[in-house]
Structure formats: structure tokens, C-alpha cells
Amino acid sequence: MILPQAEEYQALFSISLKQVLETLNHPDTREGLTTGRYTAEKTFGTHQVYVYYYRTLPLHGQEDETYAIVDFIGYAEV
């Protein structure tokens, strides 16, 4: 789930959904923050994508499943 403000940043920086999912699923760097929010970073050629997200458990699902609620999507030139 991508929150509306994160969708605006995604559109502003022209970051594809594929890059967002790749950053979440196979990050170069992943950190947990004391605020309960997590960060994931991944480099794609000449730019780096940052995703700030919260993790939540599904109401119905497997024991090892989690969902990400994306709060921010950022972009930086490398």
C-alpha cells in the first residue's frame, strides 16, 4: 500500500512501481528506525531510490507474511 503523499513523490521523481517494489524486496540497504518506520535504499544506474515504510501483519495470511505501508519515496543522483 502506497500512501497518497508517497504517490506524489513517486510521480514527481518518475520512479516506477517496479523500482519501488525492487527497493522493498531486494534493497542494497535496509534499516529499522526507533520510530517504528523502516528505510530501504537501492541504486539503479545513476540514481538511488529511498523508500520509508511501516510493516504490518495481514489479517489473513501466512505466518511469515508482512505488508508494507509506504510513507515516503525519495530519489537522489549518484
pLDDT at 48 over 80: yes
DSSP labels for 2-68?
B-HHHHHHHHHTT--HHHHHHHHHS-SEEEE-TTS-EEEEEEETTEEEEEEEEEE--SSS-TT--EE
pLDDT at 59 over 90: no
The C-alpha atoms of residue 32 and residue 39 are separated, in whole angstroms, by: 6
- Look at 67 and 44; give whichever has higher pLDDT: 44
User: Structurally, how many domains does the chain consist of?
Assistant: 1
pLDDT at 62 over 80: no
* pTM of structure: 0.86
